[in-house]
Structures are given as structure tokens and as C-alpha cells.
Amino acid sequence: MHQSTGLRVAGGVLYRLDHITRPLPHQPAVRKGPPVPIIFKSASLKVSAAAAWEIVERYMRNDIHVFSTAEKQRVEGPWRIITSGGAEYRELNLTVDPQHMFASYTVPNVFDSTFHHASMRVFDTGDGGCRFEWITDVDSDTYEVDHTDLYDVLWADLVKVVETGQEAPWPASTAD
């Protein structure tokens, strides 16, 4: 059981502690082989948990521009389509849980990976601030190393938008 996330894995099924006898509606795929690597980002912020969660929820609704590398973004059905570097990436929301301030999404086939899952979580620290986490699991052992610089930029953008509530700037090529 992982105390900070309120989640538990039993028999390969992910459970919320408040629903310990029932599995979550989105059952994880059974994966054969070694565990997938993760990219873990965490920061203590001086903004309230409620304000931070509002930004996460707005991102999940495609209601705010968060990443400065994104040249365009639009919605097609359940997909959030992000254009960056001339390539389109399709993001699909999996979970938006306001009670637990937890959101997750997947970006299939991003950078030739066959598995991608990302989550954002806000924790109230009780002092008027919060802890904000962004975790990305991928299937490639080299994904994190290959994309470290990009994820550092994305994380800096995400933290700035969550802390200030102001959208990230659009790339110069799209600001016309």
C-alpha cells in the first residue's frame, strides 16, 4: 500500500483505499517482463492545493495552454491533439478525480513507445501550499535518457503555470 497516493496493488489490480474491495474502473493491462521505467517530477508549491488542482482540471479539459513547446492544441472527440515540432500527439484522458486531486492520461506511440501513461497529483500540505507530482511511465529503457531535456522544459512549464495560473507562452512561430 502506498500511503501518499492512497492506492494499493493486489493481484495486479490497482485499488483506491476508499474502495478497497472494488477495483478501479480502469484495470491496468497485465504486462509480462520487467516493470516499466518512470519519469518522476515533484515540487513543493506556494499555491493552495485547490488552485493547483484547478489548473490540472483545466488542462485535462483542454482549457489552458500549459506547455510552451505546444504549437497548437485542439480536441477531437475524446482526444486532445497537441502539435509540437510539426508532429501531432494524441492524448487521451483516463482519470480525472477531483476528490483525490488525481488525473491521468496516455499518449499512444509517443516517440515510438508502445506504452505511455502519465499522471498528475496534487497533495495539500496543510500550510497553505501543496506538493505537485507528475509521473510518466513508458516502455522504453532509453526513453527517459533520450528525452530528459524535453521533460525538464515541460516540467518547468507545468510548474510555472500551476503556480501562477497564467498560460504558457505560445512558440514564436505560432504567435503571429
Q: Domain limits of the chain?
A: 1-30, 35-174
Distance CA(170)–CA(92), nearest Å, equals 22
Cα(168)–Cα(176) distance, rounded to whole angstroms?
Answer: 16
Say which range, 2-16, 49-63, 103-117, 121-135, has the weakest mean pLDDT.
2-16
Beta bridge partners of 122: 132
Q: Is the pLDDT of residue 24 over 60?
A: no
Q: Give the mean pLDDT of the chain.
A: 79
Question: What CATH number was assigned to the domain covering residues 35-174?
Answer: 3.30.530.20
Burial label, 11 (beta-carbon count in 10 A; 0-12, 13-18, 19+): exposed
Helix-then-strand count for the chain, H and E: 3, 9
Nearest to 135 by CA among 42, 51, 56, 65: 42
Q: What band does 123 get if pLDDT is binned at 50, 70 and 90?
A: very high
